Amino acid sequence: MKKCTFQLMFILISAFFLNLQAQSNWCGISAEDAQALTNYHLQVREDMRDFVKERNAVTYVPVRFHLVAKSDGTGRPTERLGLQALCLLNAAYADHDIQFYLKEFKNLNSTSVSTNPESFSGFNAIKSAMVYNAINVFIVDQIADPGVAAYWQGPPGPNGNDWIVASDNFVTTDNVLAHEVGHFFSLLHTFNGWESSGGWDPNVHGNPVGPNSPGNVPNEYVNGSNCTNAGDFICDTPADYMFGPDNTCVYSSNAKDPTGAALAPDVSNRMNYFYNCTDYHFSNQQITQINNSLFHSTRNYVRPGITPTLDIVSGSPALTKPAQLEKVDTYNYVELEWTAVPGANKYLVEISNSNIGNLRFIVNDNTMVVTNLLENQSYLWRVMAFNEYSTCGNYSTQKIFKTGAIFTDTAEIPNREKWTIAPNPVRSGQPILINLESDGMETDVSLFSMTGQLVHKVANYRFPGGISTLELPTDRLPAGIYIVALRTAGGVQTQRVAVTN
């Protein structure tokens, strides 16, 4: 099967003088590409003819976002784009008993994929990054064809090239990902056969049009009498000969079908190319076809039968620590804290300034520690709450903190003698023993991963008299380096501990 590329092409014509921005696009699909997807569409229709989907049963489909940076790691799209795109995708399919959840974010470093995913090297890098247990969406800096917003590759299935690529400029535009997922689930454009035409033009294509489209697909009649074998092969989408790209969501042509009947295309159909519509939708038969593809054997791999957490996360956290403009003395140990948001089990934390750029972390708690900041600088930070299914939240209000010049390992807590960790390294499952001579001070003892995730905390602990020992469990901790931090009213001290398997 030949490569099947659906390209949603946008050209941005910025008319700055008029202070408006017109957006136009068309699809760069070749006749061969359209034929490959047509074959899949018809195969699904045939194979699933007798399939009846269980009513009111929601199918949850995992999505993996590959955040593609250049080979040197720069220019990576943010996790936030994936979360927003997932939010729009769920809204688009909410009425159709299909919902999507975040499988994971993966980072891919490849200049080819970032700037030219359709190139030979880009294609191969994507192919080797594929994991066939979710829909894989690659968010890239740009698709080399001028202004292409997104495409589904194909052919479908785990032995195919079953991925979606979207440009970071468009992945959160309403209907872009929903449209590509429509292709993923075997839908053709409502104007199938007209992609290469640049749009219907009476001077080129005639009015009435002839029997076949420029791509040699029979033109669908307005009365639908040939609908099963013409156009998009879907009978409840009206005849359409590609009247987009259009930004007004209004059809203003006067095209006639081969019998002379006037067209009335469905401009806000999700498989059309009209923009800024407020009532995007799939037709009932498109929904049936999507479900037939979802339950077709080519798509077993996106139906793991898992129901994600369904709690709805609404609202944003409030940043509580450090306080606004607070200076944290220890630049290599900055504890961040924010209010927990109901339903959230993940937080996207963003810290930025002009020297470090944009650092981002995903943690499971409403606290973390950052160990890789620079001394004597100001930082902006903000946090977004979400879970794998509910990703529509907004960032918190942004705040600022400053770092000092103290390196924590040398920071002294007044009146506290040396303390030790043993054993180090420690085998996962064995406790970490913290030994210190008691000084009666109340101490918060925390264990953090190197990515700042709080693993374990003993709050307000008072070491008993004499030399005493506190055990920190390491149950099921993956091997790696961790940070043990002791905080008192007088300051914080840290030591590193290695956990082995």
Residue type, 176: V
Which residue spans within 51-97 are E strands per DSSP?
59-69
Closest to Zn ion by CB, 181 vs 349, is 181
According to DSSP, residue 409 is labeled G
Closest to Zn ion by CB, 6 vs 338, is 6
Residues touching Zn ion, count (CB under 5 A): 1
Binding range to Zn ion, per CB under 5 A, among 5-13, 73-81, 90-98, 232-240: 5-13
What's the min distance (Å) between Cβ of 91 and Zn ion?
Answer: 19
Task: Pick out residues in 209-238 that bind Zn ion (CB under 5 A).
Answer: none
Binding range to Zn ion, per CB under 5 A, among 4-12, 117-125, 372-380, 481-489: 4-12
Q: How far is CA 263 from CA 41, 209, 233, 251, 279, in A?
A: 24, 11, 17, 10, 20
> Closest by alpha carbon to 9, among 144, 123, 202?
144
Residue 282 is a binding residue for Zn ion (CB under 5 A): no
SS3 category, 496:
strand
Closest to Zn ion by CB, 6 vs 282, is 6
Binding range to Zn ion, per CB under 5 A, among 3-11, 120-128, 305-313, 425-433: 3-11
Closest to Zn ion by CB, 6 vs 93, is 6
SS3 category, 380:
strand
Residue nearest Zn ion by beta-carbon distance: 6
Residue type, 325: L
According to DSSP, residue 301 is labeled G
Binding range to Zn ion, per CB under 5 A, among 1-9, 109-117, 153-161, 367-375: 1-9
Q: What is the pattern of x (binds Zn ion, CB under 5 A) and - over residues 167-196?
A: ------------------------------
Binding range to Zn ion, per CB under 5 A, among 6-14, 190-198, 408-416, 467-475: 6-14
Closest to Zn ion by CB, 153 vs 330, is 153
- DSSP of 339-356: ---TT--EEEEEEEETTT
Burial of 73 (0-12, 13-18, 19+ CB in 10 A): exposed
Binding range to Zn ion, per CB under 5 A, among 2-10, 296-304, 317-325, 439-447: 2-10
What's the min distance (Å) between Cβ of 110 and Zn ion?
Answer: 24
What's the min distance (Å) between Cβ of 162 and Zn ion?
Answer: 16
Closest to Zn ion by CB, 6 vs 347, is 6
What's the min distance (Å) between Cβ of 152 and Zn ion?
Answer: 8
Residue 6 is a binding residue for Zn ion (CB under 5 A): yes
What's the min distance (Å) between Cβ of 232 and Zn ion?
Answer: 11
Count of other CB atoms within 10 angstroms of residue 482? 24
d(C-alpha 294, C-alpha 99), whole Å: 12
What's the min distance (Å) between Cβ of 8 and Zn ion?
Answer: 5
210 with 219: CB under 8 angstroms? yes
d(C-alpha 244, C-alpha 88), whole Å: 22
For the chain, the straight-line distance linking the first and the last C-alpha, in angstroms and rounded, comes to: 46
Closest to Zn ion by CB, 148 vs 447, is 148
348 with 383: CB under 8 angstroms? yes
d(C-alpha 286, C-alpha 274), whole Å: 17
What's the min distance (Å) between Cβ of 59 and Zn ion?
Answer: 23
Closest to Zn ion by CB, 6 vs 243, is 6
> Closest by alpha carbon to 241, among 277, 276, 275, 266?
266
Using alpha carbons only, how large is the chain's radius of gyration in Å?
28
Task: Pick out residues in 63-122 that bind Zn ion (CB under 5 A).
Answer: none
Closest to Zn ion by CB, 151 vs 333, is 151
Closest to Zn ion by CB, 265 vs 393, is 265
Task: Pick out residues in 387-446 that bind Zn ion (CB under 5 A).
Answer: none
What's the min distance (Å) between Cβ of 40 and Zn ion?
Answer: 14
d(C-alpha 119, C-alpha 386), whole Å: 35
Binding site for Zn ion (CB under 5 A): 6
